[in-house]
Amino acid sequence: MPVDYICSMITELRSDTFTKPTPAMLQAMFTAQVGDDVFGEDPSVNELENYCANLFAMESALFCPSGTMTNQIGIKCHTQPGDEVICDKTSHVYIYEGGGIAFNSGCQVKSINGIRGMITADEVKDSINPDDVHKAATSLVCIENTVNRGGGGCYNFDDIVAIKNVCDTNGLKLHLDGARLFNALRATGENEKQYGEIFDSISICMSKGLGAPAGSILLGSHAFIKKARRVRKVMGGGMRQAGFMAAAGLHALQHHQQKLLMDHDHAKQIAAALIKKDFVGKMLPVETNIIIFELKGDEAPNHFCEFMKKRDILCLPISSTQVRMVTHLDVSAQMVNDLIHVIDAM
């Protein structure tokens, strides 16, 4: 293995998607039993799907190449062309999936002006169209937990239950974009089964903070997943010996979940150093592994990120005023300390 693979000199804070497999994960992949998953015969994929379905106490699960695909398949299976999907204005499904809701499902969006990417039951209720030929039929609500653009914030579970009640009363399905659900669960002490009970479908990512190279899981009922399996094939997401990736995902779920708490602690330490600086403006509350903050001055995010890059620290400018940093498996305590020294000296 090349040396730079094992001990990278770069502190990568642009996203938690940059993690590379650990030697133990590579070993799990290397020794995985595989078969043709399009025939349903890959034992490692089947094991991961069963493991996740049991974890959430949901009937069935489907392994897909990406979280975009699990979200888009979920939306496709819950809607008809011409329907309306309710979500926050900063939802990943709406602003970061290439217009997929329109492209794949032929639906339009009613976007809610939520707070930090989180919406309320009342807002959902007010966004449902009446049964009127002029209006699109509202059929689905999508929420995100943790909220990506909302700085990794976590919903209060009671607020999700309230949204679920509005959905039930009005015959709407409820989908969870849980790309970072495990960050939320470990931060709040909630558990997977609470979520499995509430949602019609859940998407979880192995390739964010959990540290697998690729792969997401879509969860739902038997009938839903049967339909989803067909849509996955149509979208070109049926992979053959996908067990090598599934083995990485299972390893991530079994060995990297507790490490998420360390990422959260690292994020809080970095945030505490940043907030002391007078060039740092408003910062979103840091609840998990994402730090989003404003910088004062023209072009400040670009200048800040260039300054950091010269010191081998990579951050992401996400708007004309905001910078994002994300902690993960490959950001060590030493890297966090070094970064804090750089910030302190600025």
The single-letter DSSP state of residue 246 is H
Closest distance of CB 101 from ligand PLP, Å = 13
Pick 128 or 176: Cβ nearer ligand PLP:
176
Closest distance of CB 68 from ligand PLP, Å = 3
Closest-CB residue for ligand PLP? 67
Pick 15 or 221: Cβ nearer ligand PLP:
15
* Residue numbers at the binding site for ligand PLP (CB under 6 A): 66-68, 71, 92, 144, 148, 177, 179, 205, 207-208, 216
Query: Which residues 6+ apart lie within 8 Å of 61 measured at CB?
Result: 48, 49, 50, 52, 53, 217, 218, 219, 225
Closest distance of CB 16 from ligand PLP, Å = 9
Pick 105 or 216: Cβ nearer ligand PLP:
216
Closest distance of CB 204 from ligand PLP, Å = 10
Pick 66 or 165: Cβ nearer ligand PLP:
66
Nearest one of 130, 56, 55, 100 to 237, comparing CA atoms: 100
Residues 323 and 301: beta-carbon distance below 8 Å: yes
Closest distance of CB 178 from ligand PLP, Å = 8
Pick 107 or 147: Cβ nearer ligand PLP:
147
Distance CA 339, CA 302 (A): 18
Beta bridge partners of 218: 62, 203
Pick 92 or 324: Cβ nearer ligand PLP:
92
Q: Is residue 312 exposed (0-12), middle (13-18) or buried (19+ Cβ within 10 Å)?
A: middle
Beta bridge partners of 294: 322
Closest distance of CB 327 from ligand PLP, Å = 14
Closest distance of CB 91 from ligand PLP, Å = 8
Q: Helix crossing, 243-255 with 23-30: angle to 10°? A: 140
Residues 87 and 74: beta-carbon distance below 8 Å: no
3-state SS assignment for residue 308:
helix
Residue 145, both tokens: 């937990």
> Which amino acid is located at 205 in the chain?
C
Pick 124 or 143: Cβ nearer ligand PLP:
143
Distance CA 98, CA 93 (A): 9
Written as one string, the DSSP assignment of 151-189 is: TSB---HHHHHHHHHHHHHHT-EEEEEETTHHHHHHHH-
Pick 139 or 207: Cβ nearer ligand PLP:
207
Closest distance of CB 334 from ligand PLP, Å = 26
> Which amino acid is located at 328 in the chain?
H
